[in-house]
Amino acid sequence: MTELHVTQLGQVVEPAASPDQAVLERVPNPQSDVTYLARFVVPEFTSLCPVTGQPDFAHLVIDYAPGDWLIESKSLKLYLTSFRNHGSFHEDCTVKIGRKIVEIAAPRWLRIGGYWYPRGGIPIDVFWQTGPAPEGLWLPDQGVAPYRGRG
């Protein structure tokens, strides 16, 4: 097992001004010999429209099958917070988050669902995954209903 090295856990940390400045950290997975699913649910994700500067809101569900590393959850919270003043389209935000987790933690598998609230009357849901799920991995439904408005 690799030595634990995190810079934000247990520390007072100011949120980064942008996702490119944010630090996403990993910790050793003590169950790296087991294929299992870990889930992060972010029901109040916020970014900015890159054209209008208006806020955009999403419910993110991040499922991953860890390998040797786990994503350290405080650093993930701070990484996601860094999008609050970041202008980017829904598709870019969702895929960028998934790819960053893959870059840092090298999971066996990852999928992210970005369930974005309507802008201009159109909700946009964005889904990305690294490939087929490992055989035998339990994949529960992400549990987010399609947007129905007042209907």
Question: Percentage of residues in the chain with pLDDT exceeding 70?
Answer: 91
Fold of 26-129: GTP Cyclohydrolase I, domain 2 (3.30.1130)
Domain definitions of the chain by residue range: 26-129
Spatial neighbors of 15 by CB under 8 A, at least 6 apart, are 22, 78, 81, 82, 84
Residue 8, both tokens: 């934000």
pLDDT band at 16 (very low <50, low <70, confident <90, very high): confident
Query: Of the ranges 1-10, 69-78, 87-96, 125-134, which one carries the lowest mean pLDDT score?
Result: 1-10
- Can 93 be counted among the known catalytic residues? no
Among residues 20, 33, 56, 68, which one is catalytic? 56
Q: What is the pLDDT of residue 148?
A: 77
Whether 89 and 44 have beta carbons less than 8 Å apart is answered as no
Task: Say if residue 65's pLDDT is above 80.
Answer: yes
Cα–Cα distance, 8 to 72 (Å, whole number): 9
**Rounded mean pLDDT of 2-20?**
72
Task: Say if residue 108's pLDDT is above 70.
Answer: yes
Q: What is the pLDDT of residue 1?
A: 44
pTM score of the predicted model: 0.91
Cα–Cα distance, 136 to 139 (Å, whole number): 9
What stretches of the chain adopt beta strand conformation (E)? 26-28, 38-48, 55-65, 69-71, 109-116, 125-129
Among residues 49, 68, 92, 125, which one is catalytic? 49
Q: What is the pLDDT of residue 3?
A: 53
